[in-house]
């Protein structure tokens, strides 16, 4: 058997490499189609070497999701825009530049509807947190802020699915701007 050439990377750099490889594979195949061997191969590791860094397949999935959230927070700004419309516009502009990440999230969000999916609790928590945050931001502009928060999430998710299905025919940012007028009224 041929010996696999492996390069030694600092732990943080190796973890980033693993997360990036897993992100691409999950976006393409979903969690259930993810092979730890494929992730290890993409990183020049053995499966035991991969597990040393992530603990388990479930641990890898949660690391991928948490990394995505952290990157979104970093890109949108800290603190994020305090205006709900501005925040949503910033998120849509960001998502329009990363279809593979949006696809990853859409695939995992759907898969995790099954209670036995390892990301089921993560997505349930995330949905509560997003709705609570949007509700608070919507209070100054909406008579029914929780209803507006739910409409924002439903609209954004729906538009992203349409964009992923037909990216050459769909301008995500333009579609969001039109939808935002319906949700928030004409831009001032």
CATH number of the structural domain spanning residue 35: 1.10.10.60
Same domain, 62 and 110: no
Same domain, 103 and 125: yes
Mean pLDDT (the chain) is: 90
Same domain, 84 and 137: yes
Given a cut of 60, is residue 5 above it in pLDDT?
Answer: no
Tell me what the mean pLDDT of segment 115-124 comes to.
Answer: 94
Residue after which a domain boundary falls, among 46, 67, 88: 67
Tell me what the mean pLDDT of segment 117-123 comes to.
Answer: 94
Same domain, 41 and 111: no
The dihedral formed by the CA atoms of 106, 108, 113 and 115, expressed in degrees to the nearest 10: -170
Encode burial over 28-58: b for 16+ CB neighbours within 10 A, e otherwise: eeebeebebebbbebbebeeeebbebbeebe
Same domain, 60 and 110: no
Same domain, 174 and 118: yes
Given a cut of 70, is residue 6 above it in pLDDT?
Answer: no
The pLDDT value recorded for residue 2 is 43
Specify the number of domains making up the chain.
2
Residue after which a domain boundary falls, among 11, 33, 67: 67
Same domain, 98 and 11: no
Q: Which domain holds residue 117?
A: 79-188
Predicted TM-score of the model (pTM): 0.81
Same domain, 120 and 56: no
Judge whether 167 lies within some domain.
yes
The pLDDT value recorded for residue 81 is 80
User: What CA–CA distances, in Å, run from 115 to 42, 111, 112, 128, 129?
Assistant: 30, 9, 7, 16, 19
Same domain, 83 and 136: yes
The pLDDT value recorded for residue 187 is 64
Tell me what the mean pLDDT of segment 65-78 comes to.
Answer: 85
Same domain, 55 and 87: no
Positive or negative, the CA dihedral 38, 110, 183, 76 is: negative
Same domain, 58 and 103: no
Judge whether 131 lies within some domain.
yes
Same domain, 172 and 109: yes
Judge whether 147 lies within some domain.
yes
The pLDDT value recorded for residue 7 is 66
Judge whether 73 lies within some domain.
no
The pLDDT value recorded for residue 69 is 87
């Amino acid at each position: 058997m041929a010996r696999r050439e492996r390069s030694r990377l600092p732990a943080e750099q190796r973890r980033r490499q693993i997360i990036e490889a897993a992100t691409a594979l999950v976006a393409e195949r979903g969690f259930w189609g993810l092979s730890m061997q494929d992730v290890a191969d993409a990183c020049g590791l053995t499966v035991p070497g991969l597990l040393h860094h992530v603990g388990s397949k479930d641990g890898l999935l949660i690391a991928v999701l948490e990394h995505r959230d952290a990157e979104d927070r970093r890109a949108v700004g800290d603190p994020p825009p305090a205006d709900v419309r501005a925040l949503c516009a910033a998120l849509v502009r960001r998502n329009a530049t990363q279809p593979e990440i949006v696809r990853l999230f859409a695939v995992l969000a759907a898969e995790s509807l099954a209670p036995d999916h390892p990301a089921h609790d993560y997505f349930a928590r995330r949905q509560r947190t997003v709705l609570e945050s949007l509700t608070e931001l919507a209070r100054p502009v909406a008579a029914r802020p929780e209803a507006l928060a739910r409409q924002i999430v439903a609209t954004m998710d729906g538009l992203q699915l349409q964009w992923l299905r037909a990216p050459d025919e769909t301008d995500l940012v333009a579609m969001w701007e039109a939808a935002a007028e319906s949700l928030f009224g004409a831009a001032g």
